[in-house]
């Protein structure tokens, strides 16, 4: 095949914007498009995927009311924090937890609410020296029962 051979079935590639800039009217049109503000493009900030600003507002209002009710119940039971800033932070965390959105944010809010409301479980450590001694004494008793003799304590004399 030669390099200069033409194929009539193939249409030449035409870039719309390259063709547009060839004329003064096209250049003016392109400049006008570039100056146009695209502020309304896309979802507003803070609106989760799958929702519009209008559909998320009632859900947020309901979550805010639930958060206020949660704080009131905690205040009646005496579990609410006494500091107003802490109450406001807890209310915001409950509100974030109730509104659909990023899982990471909701989990962080849930962890914050749990830190406010529940105590962390104490690490249970049953470390006693008596366990080993009890185990050895039961072994000694079983061995002596098999021999038929009674358990007697041996006294050791210190060698000086």
pTM: 0.50
Instruction: Name the residue ranges covered by the structural domains of the chain.
Output: 53-117
Average pLDDT, the chain: 80
* CA proximity to 94, closest of 109, 80, 82, 81: 109
Dihedral pair phi/psi, residue 152, rounded to 5°: -130, 145
User: Which pLDDT score, from 0 to 100, does residue 27 have?
Assistant: 92
Burial 107-126 (b: 16+ CB within 10 A, else e): eebeebbeebeeeeeeeeee
pLDDT in tens, 15-33: 888 888 899 999 999 888 8
pLDDT in tens, 55-91: 999 999 999 999 999 888 888 888 777 888 888 888 9
């Amino acid at each position: 095949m030669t390099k200069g051979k033409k194929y009539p079935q193939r249409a030449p590639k035409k870039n719309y914007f390259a063709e547009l800039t060839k004329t003064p009217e096209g250049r003016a049109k392109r400049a006008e498009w570039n100056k146009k503000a695209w502020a309304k493009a896309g979802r507003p900030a803070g609106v989760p995927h799958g929702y519009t600003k209008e559909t998320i507002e009632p859900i947020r209002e309901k979550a805010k009311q639930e958060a206020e009710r949660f704080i009131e119940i905690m205040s009646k039971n005496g579990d609410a924090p006494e500091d107003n800033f802490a109450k406001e932070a807890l209310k915001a965390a409950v509100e974030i937890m109730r509104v659909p959105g990023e899982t990471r944010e909701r989990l962080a809010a849930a962890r914050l609410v749990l830190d406010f409301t529940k105590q962390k479980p104490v690490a249970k450590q049953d470390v006693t020296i008596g366990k080993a001694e009890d185990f050895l004494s039961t072994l000694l008793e079983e061995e002596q029962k098999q021999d038929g003799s009674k358990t007697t304590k041996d006294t050791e004399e210190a060698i000086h």
